[in-house]
A and B are shown apart, each in its own frame.
Chain A
Amino acid sequence: MKMTKFAAAFAVAMTTAVPVLAQDLHFPSLSYRTGPFAAGGIPFADGYSDYLTLINERDGGIGGLRIRQSECETAYNTERGVECYQSMRGDAPMVLQPLSTGITYQLIPRTIEDQIPMHTMGYGRTSAVNGEVFNWTFNYPATYWDAASVFINHVLAENSGDLSDKKIVLLYHNSAYGREPIRTLERLSETHGYTFLSIGVDSPGQEQGSQWLQIRRERPDYVIMWGWGVMNPTAIQEAANIRFPMENFYGNWWAGSEQDVRAAGEAAHGYKSLAMHRTGRDYPIYDDMQQYVIDAGLYAGTGEEVGTVLYSRGLYAAMLAVEAAKKAQEIHGVTEITPAMMRDGMEQLEITEARMAELGLPNFGPAFSVSCQNHSGSGEAMIQQWDANAQTWNLITDWIAPDRDLIMELVAEDSLAYAAENAITPACLN
């Protein structure tokens, strides 16, 4: 029954795709519902798709123009990601959200050439913050380096501002994704005097025995994890096995969803992670979602993920994309926007608390505005903690600001090196 509906939706999408000129806005989704990272990929893709469906069903699209969705399976694999990109680049994709740091690195030069904006929300290449170098890449509302700094600021506050006798271990996925925060944490260790140690786990991350043996030997005060997919539940299980105090074990925001902690059961109680947005179903938007999408049977996937952390993230990503499209329509005065116009909308995007409340997501994410100089947002994040008894994530802090001065310094360093390597003259497009 689900199958046929999906097939029907796709068939409609296919037939409308071919003959007529763009009478709709194409929002592709580079998703992964298979492979070792599917646990994270499925809820994100579902949330992304459901929000766009809601906009179509409730509002009749964006500015009266319907959204056409398409999905391409990457399996978190770079080569497949390139294949997906090639298959959709000619079809006026409004914005690409690859949900993979590896694929992001592949696509940055290609999207510049093809003039297609890319949104890498809380992942990807952090130095894309510098919009004068990376004109077509956006990573609002926060970046990896923000995340690392927020974590340090949080433990600083917990230790009354002194980390000099502390030892912090970074357990990272040994890929571009996992290595992103190393430099920031190293730089911050110079300022705050903590001992820093980074331990890599090879992809996909099921084998961590030796890493946890090392952690046990080192006796760190805090472990922060940069993991994804199957690596996260394994790490939490391993931490429980060596009786590492869970409240001193932090994940970044890609290691803080239901999928990560449920497998460890009781043992995961007290595990903390960063959160770049709130979660749960207690938002007015879910009334509409229930009415227009879920009850109507138009939801993506199985519908079991609705309201989970990564579903919320997909929904948030879609919300930001739709807001940018509205902004683009407003700036250019046309409804039928091109990817290049979409880019302008993204660069001038402003998300206020009032706007989020209007959308039925009050206080869901941080208020921020994007500019040419800063393609990231405020960089703020919160800390959430898992309650294994209630099976819920509870926020235990308010928004924590990162050390933006240091991050901007690092961003300038890295992005200007990229500009020099690739003969780019940093400049705004408009």
Chain B
Amino acid sequence: MLYREAGDFKSTYTADNQTFPIKFDRNAYYLTMAVAFGVVPFIINDYWAQAVVIPFLIYAIAALGLNILTGYCGQVSLGTGGFMAVGAYAAFKIMTAFPGLNIVLVIVMAGLVTAAVGVLFGLPSLRIKGFYLAVATLAAQFFLVWLFTRVPWFFNFSASGQINAPTRTLLGVPVTGATASSATVYLICLFFVVALAWLARNLTRGTLGRSWMAVRDMDIAAEIIGVNPLKAKLTAFAVSSFYIGISGALLFTVYLGAVEAGEVFGIDKSFLVLFMVIIGGLGSILGAFLGAFFLIVGPVLLKLLLVDNLGWPTDLAAHLEIMIIGALILIFLIAEPHGLAALWRTIKEKLRLWPFPY
């Protein structure tokens, strides 16, 4: 029905190896891109942009980053919140030190700073793995937040320890600060999401990605066949932290505008992104998006339904929301332990064979 593959032939290896080998998928992707860039910016209102779409895009980047490390390279990390904080504080320091600098450049530089920090905290991964590495990255989370709340240099000695994003423009249009329009902010985030997802997809199916997956599946075997685990693990940490840093920088500069490390980048952020990756599907680009959608947009939609439409008391709705999201996580993990992406893959397989399954 949906997937009509009759006549969709491939005559070259390139055609067979493309990201979306099925024509229907490919067209759906082009359509999504066209709508996202060509239609949404003109119709989106402030509420949907600021409360739903922009946080979704930003967390999708973080989930992509963690997916590279945990899903593709098998290195469990609980330091995501700390690395997001590095991105945010790096962006703040760069923004205030060089007021004239292009904001896109600031965000990319913040990502690079985070990549360097990530490599530093990735060093223990050469000796330890699994739960032990999770605990080592947990230390990174606590240390980094501690650093950003205790060392006044990082927040430019402000009295309250908050960092504020001053207004910065891109080609004369304000991108950060309260004057930035939702459409601009949306486009900036969308640009980063698309560019980084494209990069992630191509990295993971190239040599580097294959070496990550080899290390993930069996590191000793990988080493025997010539994969350098040092290089594989540290590049995974670097690329992952780069993504997470960019998401932290975007969260601070274009979305929240004012941030306090302990509150915004606490341990619950690390868990949130880890849940996104697990629910979305380890080792899948689509999974990062599905996971972010489930955990960022889901609660907002639930709130809109329960409070704004059904008129329930806010506290009851908030408690129910926690319960419903928790129950859904359990159900999903029991029904499909490989995440929403695997669920989608199964559906897709079935649809391709429908109505004649074998």
- Main secondary structure, interface of A, reads helix
Chain A 1-25, CB-CB to B under 8 Å as 1, else 0, gives 0010011001101100000000000
Count contacts on B: residues with CB < 8 A to the other chain: 41
Bound CA–CA A71/B262 (angstroms): 26
Say yes or no: is A90 at the interface (Cβ < 8 Å to chain B): yes
Mark the stretch among A102-110, A279-287, A333-341 that contacts chain B.
A102-110
User: Across the interface, do A71 and B314 meet the contact criterion of CB distance under 8 Å?
Assistant: yes
Within 8 Å CB of A422, what residues of B? Answer: 164, 166-167, 177
Looking across the interface, which residue of chain A has its beta carbon closest to that of B149?
A174
B53–chain A nearest beta-carbon distance, Å: 11
Say yes or no: is B287 at the interface (Cβ < 8 Å to chain A): no
Mark the stretch among A74-82, A265-273, A359-367 that contacts chain B.
A74-82
Say yes or no: is A176 at the interface (Cβ < 8 Å to chain B): yes
User: Across the interface, do B47 and A174 meet the contact criterion of CB distance under 8 Å?
Assistant: no
User: Across the interface, do A109 and B47 meet the contact criterion of CB distance under 8 Å?
Assistant: no
User: Across the interface, do A73 and B164 meet the contact criterion of CB distance under 8 Å?
Assistant: no
User: Across the interface, do A34 and B318 meet the contact criterion of CB distance under 8 Å?
Assistant: yes
Bound CA–CA A381/B132 (angstroms): 52
Chain A 174-190, CB-CB to B under 8 Å as 1, else 0, gives 11110110110000000
B163–chain A nearest beta-carbon distance, Å: 10
Within 8 Å CB of A179, what residues of B? Answer: 159-161
A205–chain B nearest beta-carbon distance, Å: 11
User: Across the interface, do A86 and B315 meet the contact criterion of CB distance under 8 Å?
Assistant: no
Say yes or no: is B264 at the interface (Cβ < 8 Å to chain A): yes
User: Across the interface, do B257 and A106 meet the contact criterion of CB distance under 8 Å?
Assistant: yes
Chain B 172-206, CB-CB to A under 8 Å as 1, else 0, gives 00000111000000000000000000000000000
Bound CA–CA A145/B257 (angstroms): 24
Looking across the interface, which residue of chain A has its beta carbon closest to that of B319?
A34
Within 8 Å CB of A7, what residues of B? Answer: 310-313
Known: A105-B164, A414-B159. A86 touches B318 (CB 8 A): no
Say yes or no: is A125 at the interface (Cβ < 8 Å to chain B): yes
User: Across the interface, do A102 and B308 meet the contact criterion of CB distance under 8 Å?
Assistant: no
User: Across the interface, do B149 and A112 meet the contact criterion of CB distance under 8 Å?
Assistant: no
Chain A 157-186, CB-CB to B under 8 Å as 1, else 0, gives 000000000000000001111011011000
B200–chain A nearest beta-carbon distance, Å: 25
A368–chain B nearest beta-carbon distance, Å: 24
Chain A 241-268, CB-CB to B under 8 Å as 1, else 0, gives 0000000000000000000000000000
User: Across the interface, do B51 and A86 meet the contact criterion of CB distance under 8 Å?
Assistant: yes
Within 8 Å CB of B339, what residues of A? Answer: none
Bound CA–CA A237/B51 (angstroms): 39
Looking across the interface, which residue of chain B has its beta carbon closest to that of A7?
B311
User: Across the interface, do B318 and A33 meet the contact criterion of CB distance under 8 Å?
Assistant: yes
Within 8 Å CB of A421, what residues of B? Answer: 164, 166
Say yes or no: is A429 at the interface (Cβ < 8 Å to chain B): no
Say yes or no: is B5 at the interface (Cβ < 8 Å to chain A): no
Pick the contact of A79 from B46, B264, B317 — CB < 8 Å? B264
Bound CA–CA A374/B199 (angstroms): 53
Bound CA–CA A176/B161 (angstroms): 6
User: Across the interface, do A14 and B311 meet the contact criterion of CB distance under 8 Å?
Assistant: yes
Say yes or no: is B258 at the interface (Cβ < 8 Å to chain A): yes
User: Across the interface, do A180 and B159 meet the contact criterion of CB distance under 8 Å?
Assistant: yes
Within 8 Å CB of B177, what residues of A? Answer: 109, 422
Bound CA–CA A183/B317 (angstroms): 40
A405–chain B nearest beta-carbon distance, Å: 18
User: Across the interface, do B318 and A200 meet the contact criterion of CB distance under 8 Å?
Assistant: no
Within 8 Å CB of B47, what residues of A? Answer: 86-87, 90
Looking across the interface, which residue of chain B has its beta carbon closest to that of A29?
B314
User: Across the interface, do A6 and B313 meet the contact criterion of CB distance under 8 Å?
Assistant: yes
Pick the contact of A105 from B149, B258, B317 — CB < 8 Å? B258
Bound CA–CA A3/B320 (angstroms): 15
A84–chain B nearest beta-carbon distance, Å: 9
User: Across the interface, do A203 and B55 meet the contact criterion of CB distance under 8 Å?
Assistant: no
B105–chain A nearest beta-carbon distance, Å: 20
Within 8 Å CB of B264, what residues of A? Answer: 78-79
User: Across the interface, do B314 and A33 meet the contact criterion of CB distance under 8 Å?
Assistant: yes
Say yes or no: is A234 at the interface (Cβ < 8 Å to chain B): no
A305–chain B nearest beta-carbon distance, Å: 13
Say yes or no: is B263 at the interface (Cβ < 8 Å to chain A): yes
Say yes or no: is B137 at the interface (Cβ < 8 Å to chain A): no
Residues of chain B from 231 to 273 with CB closer than 8 A to chain A in the complex? 255-260, 262-264, 266
User: Across the interface, do B179 and A113 meet the contact criterion of CB distance under 8 Å?
Assistant: yes
Bound CA–CA A182/B55 (angstroms): 33
User: Across the interface, do A79 and B55 meet the contact criterion of CB distance under 8 Å?
Assistant: yes
Chain B 274-318, CB-CB to A under 8 Å as 1, else 0, gives 000000000000000000000000001001000110111111011
User: Across the interface, do B262 and A73 meet the contact criterion of CB distance under 8 Å?
Assistant: no
Looking across the interface, which residue of chain B has its beta carbon closest to that of A113?
B178
A120–chain B nearest beta-carbon distance, Å: 13
Say yes or no: is A202 at the interface (Cβ < 8 Å to chain B): yes
Bound CA–CA A10/B179 (angstroms): 33
Say yes or no: is A72 at the interface (Cβ < 8 Å to chain B): yes
B243–chain A nearest beta-carbon distance, Å: 20
Bound CA–CA A71/B55 (angstroms): 22
Looking across the interface, which residue of chain A has its beta carbon closest to that of B161?
A179
Within 8 Å CB of B256, what residues of A? Answer: 78-79, 82, 106
Looking across the interface, which residue of chain B has its beta carbon closest to that of A77?
B263
Looking across the interface, which residue of chain A has its beta carbon closest to that of B300?
A83
User: Across the interface, do A125 and B160 meet the contact criterion of CB distance under 8 Å?
Assistant: yes
Known: A87-B47, A179-B159. A78 touches B263 (CB 8 A): yes
Bound CA–CA A179/B149 (angstroms): 10
Looking across the interface, which residue of chain A has its beta carbon closest to that of B47?
A86
A262–chain B nearest beta-carbon distance, Å: 21
Bound CA–CA A307/B313 (angstroms): 22
User: Across the interface, do B311 and A73 meet the contact criterion of CB distance under 8 Å?
Assistant: no
User: Across the interface, do A182 and B311 meet the contact criterion of CB distance under 8 Å?
Assistant: no
Chain A 279-310, CB-CB to B under 8 Å as 1, else 0, gives 00000000000000000000000000000000
Residues of chain A from 87 to 140 with CB closer than 8 A to chain B in the complex? 87, 89-90, 101-102, 105-106, 108-110, 112-113, 125-127
Interface residue ranges, B against A (CB under 8 Å): 46-47, 50-51, 55, 149-150, 159-162, 164, 166-167, 177-179, 255-260, 262-264, 266, 300, 303, 307-308, 310-315, 317-319, 322
Q: List 26 A-B contacts (CB under 8 A).
A: A7-B311, A10-B313, A34-B318, A34-B322, A73-B317, A78-B256, A79-B55, A82-B51, A86-B51, A87-B51, A102-B260, A105-B160, A106-B258, A110-B178, A113-B179, A126-B159, A174-B262, A177-B160, A179-B159, A179-B161, A180-B160, A200-B149, A203-B266, A414-B159, A422-B166, A422-B177
17 extra interface residue pairs, beta carbon distance < 8 Å, beyond A7-B310, A10-B307, A101-B160: A14-B308, A14-B311, A34-B318, A71-B314, A73-B307, A79-B256, A82-B50, A82-B51, A83-B51, A86-B50, A90-B47, A106-B258, A109-B164, A109-B178, A174-B149, A183-B159, A422-B167
Nearest 3 interchain pairs by C-beta? A33-B315, A10-B311, A109-B178
